[in-house]
């Protein structure tokens, strides 16, 4: 599907994933090329002196797992019909089976497997069942990583989505929509909103790098004086408020500080300018892409761009909200995804689910190819990435949270030995894989969620 | 418990009289509920290996059960509906025993002493959601654009069915960045552009007699109370005046300096959040006058208080009931009063999901974004009529009239003012089944767009009464390629009657497991097989027969007599009462007027307060419903009732029972 036609640089994000590799812009790696004043933690790939980047991609509603599960083990794995979609990058990824999210199970809370799937996916936590009051899951893996390795880059992390959050009614059996709409949680009580408009996501990325260059200094000074006053206001308010109000204010305060940090980072890295000038020439993707494929690929393109320019080292992408009932007309699926996922073992419906699984995996293959085609230091971006792709429901009909469909792309700076099917012991926590990703990127963590250790079979 | 007594001494004993006896036996819950649990539930639901993780064997006091009311209500529902204990359990409680247990649990767990002091509760401070943010800036700075769209604010998360719930509205760096960039864009356009809209902000300019500081002080003395929706401290104004002075010293113009001050104001926590000072005790006390003004204005207009309301707050007049009633009337008559329709009614009925709905285009080629807009508009128009004509709430569910534009008339198979709608859009007869085949009438090319706005009030067509028979709700409660009697039944129970069945317990088998081998049979039969299973029966006996009564409407709400060659039998049952078709169903629903009113007031109050209701709020809900009953629930009585209620006007520190 994906072709890499060399085009004029200006056409960068135009159209359905038609994109080209940017010329390598060394100036865009401020934090590595120069002493930027802030200490850089995280692991850099010794051979290429590049940092390791982490990303997680989520898809909703589970799979037709029989069509997903590969045969064989190790390098000789034979792709299932769904994983034929990633055959072109089979040497670049690990298929990991046997992993589970025990905390996405009901555990006495009754229905709501979709809400729990999204809420547990990156947190490994069992979410509190509530319509509104006292929402709580856990800090998500990407935010733990962002906390550890995000402060050297302009954006500590980037949260993207390919579907608008649902904005009314009950999302799933007594769970607030905050659970089905988000996978990234800054704190146990604070989901991190995702950007679903490719154009705005692009502008945030490029604009911050230099879109407003001409009067950037004045703007930055203004922003700083605004931030000074509003953070003082928040501080003086803090003492007067209690309980839940104080928690909300803390969210505000933290957000202000994060923006301050970004501005300082920008100021400390003047040589951004040159790189930014060339970036400013890039054409923005459409705000409302015409097709789903274009929307998804635009988001993948943005992740490549963000990693390539070292604007962030941590990213997440929600391909759909959990329980999404979207149709996939481009592959002839005109029933809703969620409706189909309750396939009742009817062949026709199961076949359509497999088609959707295949389609989404194919888009992921596009992402892997783009990472691979992008130079990074001495190697490629893919060498220095660890990208997990998957969901927290295995079979959409059974709503089971073991045997999760999981792919791990990239070498993680050398930590992983891709090209294999790795069978984990049944019910091994998915959080163990997160710990292995943390290790690859130098994120210190002893345990996470319900982890019981590391996945030791991913490396060579 | 005993350890607690030892450590904390008498303090702990005072907290719960039953403990003073040193035993749980006197506790009404332990005395009356526990024996049933022990007899019928403990076998499976006990200890660490309890089924589904539900351990019912932990000693529980009444106070604890009341605190976990959601959990115990679910257990009550599961037993009441017969899903538990499972049919193969021995011994099984008799039907009477189960009903007695459910009644007892209801009385114990949900009991609130309304004569005592139920307490008005406490609202978590609310961030303005995207709509409130836009509306507030529109009124504050006369903006003619929506900032949330320009900077692309991420969609607000929803809790308790609405997007204005304090606990759920969170803040993030992404959002903060957007607020800051919105602030810059807004001041550029509203204050610095040639056609600046905010004409009443810069009310003072520096001159030979007036220093920059004095001018700026005047500006923010006037502007800040409106931006912060309260009186302000001179120090707050001072700080912004300092900012203007510093900005001018840096070489900016005075106006640029003021614009920067406005940026601060509209990125401030005082602007972005609705902050209320914490109540001083657990005794109910009125919220502050400015706080009440904001509560009122955001409830009835989704925007900031206007000058008159702020003045009333400043003069402390909102404590008077007559003033408050008059303000409700005045605010509802303003254009912003329509947000009650476009925001509250739309979210309550689930209409906001219509934009994302995508029925199978092969089966339903007629469906497109214009039709989606039209079906939403029909329902909003009926809601608007009920509100503005101060009709009975019940009219929503059995109105014998509705609104159509030509597109909707076509969907409903009606004439539009005597004309064939298809001919209005298209040249020649065309085909409703295959609209693509139709040719545009080139002579009236511009017409179709105007046609979308031509709404007329018409008598409801065959089988249709009220919103449940509107194409909007019928489509919302369908899957993309087929109707769903289960979803429709659930919608009636949940949205209309407030009688939502408890979520299926994990042990309930799915439709396909119970109806294995029934594929290909009519849906009615598949559902019937599903209901034969006792664990499914409880809930589905309630839901399915309601939805089956609406099978004459297809997945986008068109009338049909047959489905896949079989004549549709629209007979069904609502809570034991039989009906022969949709119109009878609607009149049965209307007869449940107390349930409808109670549910409506609960939803309205949830929207008004920005928090989920607690058991204690039932007292206020009951009061409003009782008061409106003799006049048949006119909308004004329900809306005003919410405003005058204790939870809306008062606050108190949360007590244990509130959690």
ipTM of the complex: 0.82
Model confidence at A41: pLDDT above 80:
no
**Quick check: B173 contacting A, CB < 8 Å?**
yes
Q: Helices marked H in B334-389 — which ranges? A: 339, 346-348, 369-388
Residues of A in contact with B154 (CB under 8 A): 165, 193-196
Average confidence (pLDDT) over A118-122 = 95
Question: Per the CB < 8 Å rule, is B269 touching A131?
Answer: no
What's the whole-model pTM score? 0.81
pLDDT of residue A211: 41
Q: Are B53 and A107 within 8 A, CB to CB?
A: yes
Helices (H) and strands (E) in chain B — how many of each? Answer: 35, 14
Average confidence (pLDDT) over A49-69 = 93
Closest in A110, A193, A342 to B74, CB measured: A110
Q: Which of A156-165, A188-197, A286-295 has the lowest mean pLDDT?
A: A286-295
Q: Testing the interface with A: which of B55, B149, B155, B359 to mutate, by most A Cβ within 10 A? A: B155
Average confidence (pLDDT) over A306-321 = 93
Higher pLDDT, B596 or A203: B596
pLDDT of residue B502: 61
pLDDT tens for residues B44-57?
888 777 776 678 88
What b/e readout covers A287-302, taking b as 16+ CB neighbours within 10 angstroms? eebeebbbbbbbbbbb
CA A324 – CA A59 distance, rounded (Å): 10
Residues of B in contact with A339 (CB under 8 A): 479-481
Question: Per the CB < 8 Å rule, is A342 touching B166?
Answer: no
Average confidence (pLDDT) over B189-201 = 86
pLDDT of residue B474: 97
Model confidence at B657: pLDDT above 50:
no
- CA within 13 Å, CB half, B269: 29
Question: Per the CB < 8 Å rule, is B510 touching A196?
Answer: no
Question: Per the CB < 8 Å rule, is B177 touching A259?
Answer: yes
pLDDT of residue B533: 67
Model confidence at A259: pLDDT above 60:
yes
**Confidence category of residue B579, pLDDT binned at 50, 70, 90:** very high
Q: Testing the interface with A: which of B503, B529, B610 to mutate, by most A Cβ within 10 A? A: B503
CA B243 – CA B350 distance, rounded (Å): 46
Query: Smallest CA–CA separation between A428 and chain B, in Å?
Result: 20
pLDDT of residue B331: 97
CA A267 – CA B608 distance, rounded (Å): 45
Question: Per the CB < 8 Å rule, is A164 touching B350?
Answer: no
Residues of B in contact with A169 (CB under 8 A): 158, 161, 347, 350, 352-353
Q: What is the mean pLDDT of chain A?
A: 83
Model confidence at A256: pLDDT above 70:
yes
Q: Which of A204-213, A300-309, B75-84 has the lowest mean pLDDT?
A: A204-213
Question: Per the CB < 8 Å rule, is A176 touching B157?
Answer: yes
Nearest CA in chain B to A338: B479
Query: Smallest CA–CA separation between B55 and chain A, in Å?
Result: 8
Residues of B in contact with A254 (CB under 8 A): 173
Higher pLDDT, B117 or A72: A72
Query: Smallest CA–CA separation between B505 and chain A, in Å?
Result: 5
Which is it for strands A53-58 and A314-318: parallel, antiparallel or unpaired?
Answer: parallel
Could you tell me which of B435, B372, B356 has the C-alpha nearest to residue A327?
Answer: B356
Model confidence at B93: pLDDT above 60:
yes
3-class DSSP assignment, residue B322 = helix
Task: Report percent pLDDT > 90 for chain A.
Answer: 53
Higher pLDDT, A139 or A289: A139
pLDDT of residue B5: 33
What b/e readout covers B250-278, taking b as 16+ CB neighbours within 10 angstroms? eebebbbbbbbbbbbbbbbbbbbbbbbee
The token pair at B82 is 């017969």
Q: Which of A97-106, B7-16, B423-432, B520-529 has the lowest mean pLDDT?
A: B7-16
Q: Are A200 and A207 within 8 A, CB to CB?
A: no
CB pairs under 8 A between A and B: 246
pLDDT tens for residues B204-249?
999 999 999 999 999 999 999 999 999 999 999 999 999 999 999 9
The token pair at B294 is 């904001």
Task: Report percent pLDDT > 90 for chain B.
Answer: 51
Model confidence at A123: pLDDT above 90:
yes
**Confidence category of residue A278, pLDDT binned at 50, 70, 90:** low
Residues of B in contact with A240 (CB under 8 A): 277-278
Closest in B70, B264, B353 to A168, CB measured: B353
Question: Per the CB < 8 Å rule, is B360 touching A259?
Answer: no
Model confidence at A32: pLDDT above 60:
no
Chain A contacts in chain B segment 193-252 (CB below 8 A): 239-240, 243, 246-247, 250
Higher pLDDT, A433 or A259: A433
Residues of A in contact with B654 (CB under 8 A): 243
pLDDT of residue B534: 62
pLDDT tens for residues B534-559?
666 667 777 888 899 999 999 999 99
Residues of A in contact with B360 (CB under 8 A): 327, 334-335
Question: Per the CB < 8 Å rule, is B170 touching A178?
Answer: yes
CA B264 – CA B145 distance, rounded (Å): 20
Model confidence at A452: pLDDT above 90:
yes
pLDDT tens for residues A319-377?
999 988 888 989 999 888 988 888 878 888 999 999 999 999 999 999 999 999 998 88
**Confidence category of residue B447, pLDDT binned at 50, 70, 90:** low
Question: Per the CB < 8 Å rule, is A244 touching B124?
Answer: yes
pLDDT of residue B63: 81
Helix axis angle, A292-308 to A347-372, nearest 10°: 30
CA B413 – CA B306 distance, rounded (Å): 45
Question: Per the CB < 8 Å rule, is A226 touching B506?
Answer: no
Residues of A in contact with B164 (CB under 8 A): none
Model confidence at B98: pLDDT above 80:
yes
* H/E run at residue A317: strand A314-318
Which is it for strands B126-127 and B273-274: parallel, antiparallel or unpaired?
Answer: antiparallel
pLDDT tens for residues B135-164?
999 999 999 999 999 888 988 888 889 999
Model confidence at B598: pLDDT above 80:
yes
pLDDT of residue B281: 79
């Amino acid at each position: 599907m994906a072709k890499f036609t060399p085009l004029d640089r200006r056409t960068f994000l135009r159209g359905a994933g038609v994109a080209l590799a940017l010329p390598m812009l060394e100036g865009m790696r401020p934090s590595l090329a120069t002493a930027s004043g802030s200490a850089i933690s995280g692991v850099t790939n010794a051979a290429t002196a590049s940092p390791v980047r982490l990303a997680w991609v989520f898809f909703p509603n589970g799979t037709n797992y029989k069509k997903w599960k590969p045969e064989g083990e190790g390098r000789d794995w034979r792709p299932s019909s769904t994983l034929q979609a990633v055959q072109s990058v089979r040497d670049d990824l690990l298929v990991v089976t046997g992993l589970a999210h025990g905390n996405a199970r009901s555990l006495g809370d009754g229905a709501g497997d979709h809400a729990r799937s999204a809420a547990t996916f990156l947190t490994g936590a069992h979410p509190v069942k509530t319509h509104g009051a006292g929402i709580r899951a856990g800090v998500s893996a990407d935010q733990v990583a962002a906390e550890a390795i995000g402060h050297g880059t302009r954006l500590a992390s980037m949260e993207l989505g390919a579907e608008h959050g649902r904005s009314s009614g009950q999302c799933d059996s007594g769970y607030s929509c905050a659970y089905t709409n988000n996978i990234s949680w800054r704190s146990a009580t604070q989901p991190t909103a995702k950007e679903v408009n490719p154009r705005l996501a692009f502008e945030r990325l490029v604009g911050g790098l230099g879109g407003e260059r001409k009067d950037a200094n004045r703007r930055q000074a203004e922003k700083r004086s605004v931030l000074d006053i509003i953070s003082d206001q928040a501080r003086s308010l803090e003492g007067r408020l209690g309980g839940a109000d104080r928690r909300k204010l803390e969210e505000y305060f933290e957000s202000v500080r994060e923006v301050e940090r970004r501005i300082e980072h920008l100021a400390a890295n003047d040589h951004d300018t040159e790189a930014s000038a060339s970036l400013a020439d890039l054409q923005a993707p459409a705000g409302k892409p015409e097709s789903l494929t274009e929307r998804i690929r635009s988001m993948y393109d943005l992740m490549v761009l963000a990693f390539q320019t070292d604007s962030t080292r941590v990213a997440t992408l929600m391909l759909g909200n959990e329980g999404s009932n979207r149709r996939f007309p481009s592959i002839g699926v005109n029933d809703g995804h969620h409706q189909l996922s309750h396939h009742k073992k009817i062949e026709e419906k199961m076949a359509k689910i497999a088609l959707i699984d295949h389609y989404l995996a194919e888009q992921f293959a596009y992402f892997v190819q783009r990472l691979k085609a992008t130079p990074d230091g001495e190697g490629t971006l893919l060498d220095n990435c660890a990208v997990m792709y998957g969901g927290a429901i295995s079979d959409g009909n059974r709503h089971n949270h073991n045997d999760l469909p999981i792919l791990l792309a990239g070498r993680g700076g050398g930590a992983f030995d891709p090209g294999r099917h790795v069978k984990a012991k049944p019910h091994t926590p998915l959080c163990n894989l997160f710990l292995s990703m943390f290790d690859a990127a130098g994120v210190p963590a002893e345990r996470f969620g319900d982890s019981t250790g590391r996945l030791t079979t991913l490396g060579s | 418990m005993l350890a607690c007594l030892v450590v904390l001494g008498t303090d702990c004993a005072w907290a719960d009289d039953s403990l003073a006896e040193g035993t749980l036996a006197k506790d009404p819950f332990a005395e009356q509920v526990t024996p049933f649990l022990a007899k019928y539930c403990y076998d499976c639901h006990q200890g660490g290996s309890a089924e589904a993780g539900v351990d019912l064997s932990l000693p529980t006091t009444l106070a604890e059960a009341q605190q976990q009311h959601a959990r115990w209500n679910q257990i009550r529902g599961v037993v009441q509906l017969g899903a538990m204990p499972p049919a193969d359990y021995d011994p099984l409680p008799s039907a009477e025993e189960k009903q007695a247990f459910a009644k007892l649990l209801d009385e114990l767990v949900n009991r609130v002493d309304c004569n005592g002091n139920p307490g008005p509760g406490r609202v978590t401070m609310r961030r303005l959601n995207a709509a409130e943010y836009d509306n507030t800036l529109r009124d504050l700075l006369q903006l003619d654009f929506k900032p949330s769209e320009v900077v692309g604010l991420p969609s607000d998360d929803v809790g308790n069915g609405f997007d204005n719930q304090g606990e759920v509205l969170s803040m993030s760096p992404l959002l903060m960045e957007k607020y800051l960039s919105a602030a810059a864009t807004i001041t550029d356009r509203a204050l610095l552009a040639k056609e600046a809209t905010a004409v009443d902000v810069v009310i003072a300019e520096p001159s030979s007699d007036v220093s920059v500081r004095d001018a700026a002080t005047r500006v923010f003395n006037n502007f800040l109370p409106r931006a912060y929706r309260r009186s302000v401290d001179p120090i707050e104004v001072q700080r912004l005046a300092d900012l203007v002075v510093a900005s001018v010293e840096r070489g900016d113009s005075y106006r640029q300096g003021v614009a920067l001050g406005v940026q601060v104001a509209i990125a401030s926590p005082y602007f972005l959040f609705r902050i209320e000072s914490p109540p001083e005790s657990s005794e109910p006390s009125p919220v502050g006058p400015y706080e009440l003004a904001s509560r009122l204005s955001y409830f009835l207009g989704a925007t900031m208080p206007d000058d008159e309301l702020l003045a009333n707050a400043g003069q402390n007049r909102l404590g008077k009931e007559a003033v408050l009633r008059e303000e409700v009337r005045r605010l509802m008559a303003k254009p912003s009063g329509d947000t009650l329709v476009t925001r509250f009614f739309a979210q309550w009925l689930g209409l906001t999901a219509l934009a994302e709905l995508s029925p199978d285009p092969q089966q339903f080629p007629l469906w497109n974004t214009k039709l989606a807009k039209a079906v939403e508009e029909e329902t909003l128009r009926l809601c608007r009529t009920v509100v503005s004509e101060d009709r009975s709430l019940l009219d929503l569910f059995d109105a014998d009239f509705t609104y159509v534009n030509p597109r909707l008339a076509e969907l409903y198979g009606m004439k539009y003012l005597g004309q064939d709608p298809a001919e209005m859009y298209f040249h020649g007869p065309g085909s409703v089944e295959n609209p693509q085949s139709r040719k545009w009438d080139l002579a009236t090319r511009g017409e179709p767009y105007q046609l979308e706005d031509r709404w007329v009030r018409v008598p409801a067509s065959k089988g249709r009464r009220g919103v449940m028979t509107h194409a909007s709700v019928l489509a919302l409660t369908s899957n993309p390629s087929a109707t769903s009697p289960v979803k429709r039944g659930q919608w009636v129970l949940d949205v209309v009657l407030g009688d939502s069945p408890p979520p299926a317990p994990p042990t309930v088998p799915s439709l396909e497991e119970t109806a294995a081998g029934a594929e290909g049979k009519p849906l009615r039969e598949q559902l019937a097989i599903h209901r034969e299973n006792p664990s499914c029966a409880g809930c589905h006996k309630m839901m399915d027969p309601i939805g089956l009564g609406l099978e004459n409407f297809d997945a986008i709400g068109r009338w049909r007599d047959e489905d896949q060659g079989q004549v549709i039998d629209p007979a069904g049952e609502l809570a034991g009462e039989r009906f022969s078709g949709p119109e009878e169903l609607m009149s049965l629903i209307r007869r449940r007027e107390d349930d409808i009113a109670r549910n409506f007031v609960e939803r309205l109050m949830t929207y008004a307060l920005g928090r989920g209701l607690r058991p204690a709020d039932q007292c206020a809900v009951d009061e409003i419903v009782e008061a409106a009953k003799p006049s048949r629930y006119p909308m004004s009585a329900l809306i005003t009732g919410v405003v005058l209620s204790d939870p809306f006007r008062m606050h108190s520190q949360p007590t244990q029972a509130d959690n």
